[in-house]
Amino acid sequence: MFRLDPSYIGRVWPGFMWTVTLVAAIGCCMGFHEFVWFMSVGYGFSVMCIGIFHLIFGALNGVLTPAGMVLSALFVVYGYRLGGYILKRELTNAAYRKTLESTGSAKRMPLPVSAFMWIMMMLMYTAQTSAVNYRIMNRAGDNIFAWIGIAVMILAIIGEATADRQKSAAKKLNPRRFCDSGLFKIVRCPNYFSEILFWTGVSISGIGAVQGRQWIIVIVALILITYVMYNSAQRLELRHEKSYGLDPEYQKYSDTVPLLFPFSSQYHSMKVYRD
């Protein structure tokens, strides 16, 4: 389980992937305390734990290349920043906590439901990180795509951290107004776009390292996280329409700044009624 078998090369979900799944399960188990944490705090901490596992496993087995080490370290940075930010927000931000409660996200779920979500999330997070998992498992060497992927991932981490910081600053200045400063001038959901960008970078890093049917896992995971982020942007747009839809400034902002993808012409994900 904690050593690489040469027979794993090219396989889709051998013992090494199940070990990563176990690590992801540890990272998101706090969802049994707060159900939403399976998909928020646990999301970040699962990625962080997988990155730590890669670094330890690679050191013990001598299989981490320089690019593999950087990729794993970026998982740690990304997961710690995201998980820590969400945890702090949920524990200290009363307004955000009230929003969770009003939408039913803070409601406790029956144990079987929580267990099912735990299994789904541990598999999802393993799949999301699979391009790097396969790089290690296949004993792939470094190439230009690994470093391009790393550059995209770093850009995404900076973008997401900047967006979160800018929104927090704007809300402190005026809690009742929408944020339209900084990166929010370019796209209305820069943090969600940065999430997609990060995992796109992870997928790019797998070119030349991922083999055959392994690409099915990598591509499906990227499609799923893109869908999740798009759905999150839709739900955020709905909340904003309820809160600011009659504000002329918000109407102008939302009609001229793309929702999720910068420089696109998609300003709304739904029909907007403002009577």
The string of pLDDT tens digits covering residues 42-74 is 999 999 999 999 999 998 999 999 999 999 999
- The per-residue pLDDT for 81 is 96
- The per-residue pLDDT for 2 is 67
| Per-chain mean pLDDT for the chain | 93
- The per-residue pLDDT for 92 is 83
Nearest partner of 74 among 34, 131, 122, judged by Cα: 131
CB atoms under 10 Å from CB of 175, counted, come to 8
- The per-residue pLDDT for 117 is 97
Query: In the structure, what pLDDT confidence band is assigned to residue 6 with cuts at 50, 70 and 90?
Result: confident
Alpha helix ranges (H) inside the chain? 15-27, 41-61, 66-92, 94-103, 111-128, 130-137, 144-173, 190-205, 214-244, 248-256
Domain positions in the chain: 6-256
CA distance 119 to 209: 27
The string of pLDDT tens digits covering residues 211-255 is 999 999 999 999 999 999 999 999 999 999 999 999 999 999 999
Positive or negative CA dihedral for 16, 21, 27, 29? Answer: negative
CA distance 44 to 192: 14
Average pLDDT score over residue span 125-153 = 97
Higher pLDDT, 131 or 271: 131
Q: Percent of the chain, pLDDT > 70?
A: 93
On the question of pLDDT at 115 being above 60, the answer is yes
Task: Judge whether 196 and 229 are in contact, CB under 8 Å.
Answer: yes
Q: Residue 112 carries which side chain, given as an amino acid letter?
A: P
Positive or negative CA dihedral for 147, 69, 127, 18? Answer: positive
Query: In the structure, what pLDDT confidence band is assigned to residue 140 with cuts at 50, 70 and 90?
Result: very high
CB atoms under 10 Å from CB of 176, counted, come to 7
The string of pLDDT tens digits covering residues 174-214 is 999 999 999 999 999 999 999 999 999 999 999 999 999 99
Query: In the structure, what pLDDT confidence band is assigned to residue 104 with cuts at 50, 70 and 90?
Result: low
Place of tokens 């939403």: 36
Positive or negative CA dihedral for 216, 219, 221, 223? Answer: negative
CA distance 170 to 253: 15
How distant is the alpha carbon of residue 70 from its chain centre? 18
Task: Judge whether 129 and 46 are in contact, CB under 8 Å.
Answer: no
Average pLDDT score over residue span 28-49 = 95
Average pLDDT score over residue span 85-93 = 85
How large is the angle between the packed helices 130-137 and 66-92, nearest 10 degrees? 150
CA distance 202 to 136: 13
CA distance 132 to 218: 10
- The per-residue pLDDT for 242 is 92
